[in-house]
Structure 1
Amino acid sequence: MRAFMITVSVLIPLCSVLLASAKTINVVVGGNGTTQNAGLIFQPQEVTAAVGDVVVFNFTNGTHTATQSTFAEPCIPAHVSNATLNGFDSGLRDTVNGTAQTTLTVTIQPADQNTTFWFYDLWGCGQGGVGAINANDSDWQNFGAFVRNAKRLNGSSTSSSSFSRPPTSALHPTPTSTTTTNSAERVGANAVKMIFMLAPILLAMFVV
Structure 2
Amino acid sequence: MSQLFFIHIRIKESSTPGMDLPMFLTKVTSLLGGYSSATTCIHRFKVTGEPRIIAIYEVKNILGLERTMSGLSRMGVFDVECIPLLAYETFAKFLGVDQGLTQPSPHQITENQLFWLEFTLEYPGKKTEEFLATWMIEATAALSTRVVQGRQIDLFKVLAERKVHVFISCSAEDLDKLSFTLPVMQENGANTNIKCHALQKLDDYTNRINKEHL
Same fold (TM over 0.5): no
Give TM-score scaled by structure 2 length: 0.26
**Bigger radius of gyration:** 1
More strand by share: 2
More helix by share: 2
